[in-house]
């Protein structure tokens, strides 16, 4: 028996795929309705404007990001292990084609003018950073670097590696970060 996907979800699923892989400005309403197989009236009934659809897309990404991490790290208990799972998760997200981080991409595309978008993205990145700060605080590490500083800069390394994996179409930057942090916290 057919599992019916609701119209709103069909729209949002297609928009998610296209905004992420093809870019927000390079995705037109007409392509979305064609691929989702819905009427244009339905789209504007659920999302009053393309910008509302963008916000729904970002909220969905935010929710799924933390759900995905939760699932990915279940079974790990030691903070060191969880930190390594974090980088593994972000590597896994980039497989196989290095499309980058959806939050970074939208800011690069449309800037920070739209306050709702800016706050969603800033909030998302801030939550990742906080999560890592918590994990690093729990470590029994006594290297030369303050734990919070190490956590913040580890986060930035992962961010930079994600961007440069896309640019070079290569996993190496991300693998290099993993190697680095392993040495630092071993």
Partner DNA sequence: TAAAAAATAGATAGATCTATCTATTTTTTA
Question: Nearest 5°: CA angle at 178, between 171 and 81?
Answer: 130
How many chain residues touch its own copies (CB under 8 A)?
A: 46
Is residue 185 involved in binding its own copies (CB under 8 A)? Answer: no
Q: Is 163 in the site for its own copies (CB under 8 A)?
A: yes
Question: What is the Cα–Cα distance from 109 to 25, expressed in whole angstroms?
Answer: 8
Binding partner selected for residue 152 from DNA, its own copies, none, CB under the kind-specific 5 to 8 Å limit: its own copies
Nearer to DNA, 37 or 137 (CB): 37
The least CB distance from residue 87 to DNA, in Å, is 35
Contact call for residues 35 and 16 (beta carbons, < 8 A): no
- Paired tokens of 135: 């994990």
Cβ nearer to its own copies, comparing 56 with 184: 184
- Residue 86 near residue 73, CB atoms below 8 Å: yes
Nearest to its own copies of 7, 104 (CB atom): 104
């Amino acid at each position: 028996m057919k599992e019916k996907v609701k119209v709103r979800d069909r729209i949002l699923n297609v928009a998610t795929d296209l905004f992420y892989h093809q870019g927000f400005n390079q995705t037109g309403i007409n392509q979305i309705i064609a691929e989702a197989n819905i009427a244009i009236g339905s789209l504007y009934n659920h999302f009053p404007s393309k910008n509302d659809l963008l916000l729904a897309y970002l909220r969905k990404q935010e929710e799924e990001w933390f759900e995905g991490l939760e699932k990915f790290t279940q079974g790990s208990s030691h903070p060191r292990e969880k930190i390594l799972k974090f980088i593994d998760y972000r590597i896994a997200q980039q497989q196989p084609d290095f499309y980058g981080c959806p939050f970074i991409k939208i800011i690069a595309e449309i800037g920070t003018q739209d306050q709702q978008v800016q706050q969603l993205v800033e909030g998302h990145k801030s939550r990742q950073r906080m999560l890592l700060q918590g994990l690093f605080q729990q470590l029994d590490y006594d290297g030369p670097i303050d734990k919070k500083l190490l956590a913040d800069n580890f986060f930035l390394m992962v961010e930079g590696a994600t961007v440069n994996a896309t640019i070079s179409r290569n996993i190496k930057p991300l693998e290099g970060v993993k190697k680095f942090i392993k040495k630092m916290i071993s």
